Amino acid sequence: MSTTVISSVFTSIKYYCHDLWEEIGDHRVSRLPGLNGGPWHVISLTLLYLYFVKVSGPAFMYYVSKFIDFLDTVYFVLRKKYSHITTLHVFHHSMMPFWTYIFFKFSSYTNNGFIPMVNAFVHTLMYSYYALAAVGVQNITWKKFITKLQLAQFVLVTIHSTYFLLDSTCQCSKLLILFQVIHGILFFHLFYSFYRKAYSKKSDTTNGIKNKDE
């Protein structure tokens, strides 16, 4: 292919991609940012937006949220609420970013959006509770319910992961799914232990007060 032909091709591409749009467009706006030439940057950004929102965005933002979760511990420290920084709290927040990274990096089975969806739902309710408590709303009775919801979450995670672990047609890493099952069982045990300690003490205290009054 001669140099003349190559030059002609590039000239045609430049014309249809840039010059033509300048000819048929309003010349008064040509010098404004983003309005010079053809709409290719608009199309590119729109496609990037759609890809982020529909494909990579939800998963990526879920991953980022695991680091944002660190902030509640930071707030506890700054407010000197050291009693809130339990072993379960620290272990849970330390494990989740690493596990989420492994999960999205290497897990390829098609239903891996189920667990983040359930987890995001639980965290939405949990942080809504924190927000209401922070602004001084009284008599919020969600706390025990949220802990029960977290327990239900780990049951669902375990059942969901066990299904794919036993599914011979699933093209996924069985080792990762096994770890997900162990993860669900482990955190159910930890949260259930917390639930028993937290709410059995309250029940005992309440019963003690009632007995004393009687």
Report the domain count for the chain: 1
User: Within a domain: residue 11?
Assistant: no
Residue 207: predicted pLDDT: 47
27 is catalytic: no
Q: Are 112 and 81 in contact (CB under 8 A)?
A: no
**Measured CA distances, 184 to 119, 125, 136, 177 (Å):** 12, 20, 34, 11
- The pTM of this model reads 0.66
Residue 105: predicted pLDDT: 78
User: Within a domain: residue 21?
Assistant: no
User: Within a domain: residue 109?
Assistant: yes
User: Within a domain: residue 24?
Assistant: no
Q: Which two tokens stand for residue 82?
A: 């050291």
User: Within a domain: residue 100?
Assistant: yes
User: Within a domain: residue 126?
Assistant: yes
* Three-state secondary structure readout of 58-80: HHHHHHHHHHHCHHHHHHHHHCC
Residue 122: predicted pLDDT: 92
Residue 110: predicted pLDDT: 55
Q: Which two tokens stand for residue 6?
A: 């190559």
**Measured CA distances, 36 to 16, 25, 32, 49 (Å):** 13, 9, 7, 21
Scored b (16 or more CB within 10 A) or e, 44-64 reads eeeeeeeeeeeeeeeeeebbe
Catalytic residue among 18, 89, 92, 123: 92
User: Within a domain: residue 76?
Assistant: yes
Residue 208: predicted pLDDT: 47
CA distance 127 to 108: 30
pLDDT one digit per residue (tens) for the chain, 214 residues: 567 777 777 777 777 777 777 777 777 767 777 677 777 777 887 888 777 777 777 777 888 888 988 988 998 899 888 888 888 889 889 988 988 888 777 765 555 678 888 988 998 998 898 889 888 888 888 888 999 999 999 999 999 999 988 988 877 788 888 988 998 999 999 999 989 988 876 555 544 444 333 3
User: Within a domain: residue 129?
Assistant: yes
* Three-state secondary structure readout of 105-140: HHCCCCCCCHHHHHHHHHHHHHHHHHHHHHCCCCCC
Distance of CA 60 to the CA centre of its chain: 7
- State which residues form the domain around 112: 61-199
